[in-house]
Structure 1
Amino acid sequence: GDQIDREGRSHQRHQHRHPAARRWVPMLVALMAATFSVYLVTKGLKHVWTPSVPALATIAVLAFALSYLAAKPWVYSQSEGMENRNQGLRKLFNLPLICSAALLSFAHGSNDVANAVGPLAAILNTAQSGSLASQAGVPFWVMLIGAAGISLGLFLFGPRIVRIVGERITKMNPMRAFCVALSAALTVLVASQFGLPVSTTHIVVGAVFGVGFFREYYTTHSRRRRNYIRTHKRYQHARRGVLADQDELRRRKLVRRSHFMGIIAAWAITVPSAAGLAALIFFAVDWVR
């Protein structure tokens, strides 16, 4: 009797996946569109119009409503006849994932290019005026150099970092990747709004860790998830004829501690190392001068 009740509750939860996806996926897409619209109005029109808080709230509500109304029928049409499993529901996140990745790329350019060209703009302004100023204008060619440098660096050295972040820290799928991209984009855009020079890479890696550690918590504390993993392990054992090591499976499926500790160490080392190297270079240049 208890087994039948458990199977019945599990069946009900599986039947509720489509309604839950149809309810939440349009809301996530609308949230992304509302945030992007507010940021574009705030930054893109700042030389023409400075919107007030009520105006920004109105723009956010309108963008949210319009995007929700546009996304809801698309989600309904995509989910019709779809297999009522996680593998089927993940397909609903393919297009939102592309949009969130584009938003994250935009946020990356809005913050990291400014971090790169800021010192150069300050140097040019000081060299031209002969004095230090609290604000410095940034010529277009300086921004172009920064954009070209970031694009070239991504082309030459980006694939390795993409593999580490996207594959080696924790196992990703479209749903998890969408959560990472959306949360990172929102964080970077808010930081850009307040003028905070943050690192997009660090934020994305932090979001990946957040998804991975939540999976560990959910796997440990969710009875339904433990039953699924136990059944999956029995299936693997019957198919391969070997008993997989549980710790190794845990490392493969969740957060890999070796990459976690390496990235934390890199965060702790790079800032003081860059500061010390800059001081040393300045000392050498000043001594030569």
Structure 2
Amino acid sequence: MAKVDKDLKKVGRLEAATYDLARSLAGPGLVLVFLIGAIAVAAFSVTEGPLSVFVVIGAVIAAYMALNVGANDVANNMGPAVGARALTLGGALAIAAFCEAAGALIAGGDVVNTVSRNLLRTDAAMSALDFILVMMSAFLAAALWINLATYLRAPVSTTHSVIGGVIGSGFAAAGAAAVAWPVIGTIAASWVISPVLGGAIAAALLGFVKWAILFREDKIAAAERWVPALVGLMAGIFAMYLALKGLSRIWRPTTELVLGLGLAFFAFGWLMSRPWVRRNARGLENRSKHVSTLFTVPLIFAAALLSFAHGANDVANAVGPLAAIVAAAESGTAAVDRVPLPLWVLAIGAIGIAVGLALFGPRLIRVVGETITKMDQIRAYCVALSAATTVLIASWLGLPVSSTHIAVGAIFGVGLLREALTNKGVPNPAVQPRSLFLEPEKLNKTPQEAIANARKREKRRLVRRRHAFGIAAAWVITVPASGALAAILYFVLRFFAA
């Protein structure tokens, strides 16, 4: 009998090992199938010509880039919701994959010309082959850098990675005169604007929620009054966001119409959520933890809408250079006024983002949602609403911002506000005289008890600063790192293409 049990354990371990091996091979296998599919689609879609082979190679690089965009960038939208336990990791991956792909296919590509054309001053002096090699080098460098950042668990801006790649390869191909430096200057400004604006708005939203709801004696009554208004605000903000940014490729409404949509959806969201909030508030305890559950469903909707808008806007990071390569190969010149976006190119970006998110996204989702500061439904909701609000304000003001920088800045913003409120009125032993903490005679405590009590009253650190320095360093070196790598790749590709 003992021998039978031992044999059964061996069989069980063999089955577990086989299952683990199958799981480890499933990811690379799916990636390989996707890359082969991208090659087949490009070969079938591209017209015959001397440069058609570069389109096929570019399609493979675009597919690889899309995988990395999905693995790194999408964590910004779903990380807070997962960290707040509003969504399981599997649920977040499913919702994000669907919404990202839908956003890319329905409304994607509006900023393709910015990524593929506006960064360089191309003219007839640059041959079509040189321009294609510039885009391929930029593309591959950005993808390699994002892949490394994902491995190191550093959320970086995929937009800045592509921009750095285009700068580096363009500089290598035609010198400093080929780079549109004023555009680069405005983009560099976003390194400061994005996180500061996102953090300030998120902290302001969280401060309002605490003042209006959580600090009230009757939290349930306050929640019934203000949560519908916050849901309405979310509906109005996202309606304007999608009209102005997410759907801009297929619809360009006037400013008056965008404002009207915002007011209409604010009223709609407020009216529709009032009975739902009132019904779900019944039976809740008058505690912040229980009030937070009223934000779970709005948070899920906010994360889904952010993913849709992200897919619509940031698919250009995955396929913008490929669209430029296709245009140059078909026209035979680098001087193309406007880069069209074929459906098959858009499909590679959409599917690649979804596959990359599903296979490699969990690593960064946990970093964004769990390691910087502790999340609950209210804080995560403020982060999501801040991201949409910041992009909306920046679009109206014409400021270039990064969705990655906004989301991470918003997370730090809510964490630092929570830390400040938690430590309000608590003296810091590092700067206060010890007599304030060691008064055992007055407190009828032993010296040991007084020391233990003082330690409990020390200022609490609710934001992990070490992550801030690591993420900031990754942001700063993204453009120069991808640029230097792109310049090297350009010379290598130029050698083999000669």
Q: In structure 2, how many angstroms separate the alpha carbons of the residues matched to 1:160 and 1:247?
A: 35
1:219 to 398, 411, 422: 422
* In the alignment, structure 1 residue 150 sits paired with structure 2 residue 353: yes
| Cα gap change, 1:112 to 1:30, in 2 (>3 Å) | same
Paired residues of 1:111 and 1:192 also in contact (CA < 8 A): no
| Cα gap change, 1:222 to 1:111, in 2 (>3 Å) | farther
Match of 2:449 in 1: none
Match of 2:153 in 1: none
TM score, norm. by length of structure 2:
0.47
- Helix, strand or coil at the partner of 1:215: helix
- How far the C-alpha of 1:19 sits from its partner, in A, is 3.0
1:250 to 436, 450, 460: 460
Please list every run of 5 or more consecutive structure 2 residues that lacks an aligned counterpart in the other structure: 1-213, 427-451
- How far the C-alpha of 1:63 sits from its partner, in A, is 1.1
* In the alignment, structure 1 residue 203 sits paired with structure 2 residue 413: no
Q: In structure 2, how many angstroms separate the alpha carbons of the residues matched to 1:149 and 1:202?
A: 22
* In the alignment, structure 1 residue 17 sits paired with structure 2 residue 219: yes
Larger-Rg structure:
2
Higher relative contact order (CA 8 A, sep 6+): 2
| Cα gap change, 1:13 to 1:191, in 2 (>3 Å) | closer
Aligned-residue CA RMSD (Å): 2.9
Match of 1:277 in 2: 485
Paired residues of 2:394 and 2:400 also in contact (CA < 8 A): yes
Q: Which moved more, 1:12-21 or 1:157-166?
A: 12-21
Q: In structure 1, how many angstroms separate the alpha carbons of the residues matched to 2:315 and 2:458?
A: 40
- How far the C-alpha of 1:271 sits from its partner, in A, is 1.9
- How far the C-alpha of 1:203 sits from its partner, in A, is 2.3
Q: Which amino acid aligns with 2:460?
A: R
2:338 to 129, 132, 135: 135
Q: In structure 2, how many angstroms separate the alpha carbons of the residues matched to 1:22 and 1:222?
A: 31
Q: Percent identity?
A: 52
Q: In structure 2, how many angstroms separate the alpha carbons of the residues matched to 1:194 and 1:140?
A: 31
Match of 2:294 in 1: 92
- How far the C-alpha of 1:34 sits from its partner, in A, is 1.5
- Helix, strand or coil at the partner of 2:375: coil
Q: In structure 1, how many angstroms separate the alpha carbons of the residues matched to 2:367 and 2:457?
A: 21
Match of 1:121 in 2: 323
* In the alignment, structure 1 residue 259 sits paired with structure 2 residue 455: no
- Helix, strand or coil at the partner of 2:460: helix
Paired residues of 1:14 and 1:85 also in contact (CA < 8 A): no
- How far the C-alpha of 1:197 sits from its partner, in A, is 7.0
Paired residues of 2:227 and 2:277 also in contact (CA < 8 A): yes
Match of 1:234 in 2: none
Paired residues of 1:100 and 1:182 also in contact (CA < 8 A): yes
Paired residues of 1:107 and 1:188 also in contact (CA < 8 A): no
Q: In structure 2, how many angstroms separate the alpha carbons of the residues matched to 1:183 and 1:13?
A: 21
- Helix, strand or coil at the partner of 2:346: helix
Q: In structure 2, how many angstroms separate the alpha carbons of the residues matched to 1:189 and 1:54?
A: 15
Runs of 4+ in 1 over 6 A off after TM superposition: 192-197
Paired residues of 1:29 and 1:67 also in contact (CA < 8 A): yes
2:381 to 169, 178, 203: 178
- Helix, strand or coil at the partner of 1:81: coil
| Cα gap change, 1:264 to 1:45, in 2 (>3 Å) | closer
- How far the C-alpha of 1:202 sits from its partner, in A, is 2.8
Q: In structure 2, how many angstroms separate the alpha carbons of the residues matched to 1:277 and 1:46?
A: 32
| Cα gap change, 1:282 to 1:190, in 2 (>3 Å) | farther
| Cα gap change, 1:183 to 1:25, in 2 (>3 Å) | same
Q: In structure 2, how many angstroms separate the alpha carbons of the residues matched to 1:19 and 1:66?
A: 21
- Helix, strand or coil at the partner of 1:250: coil
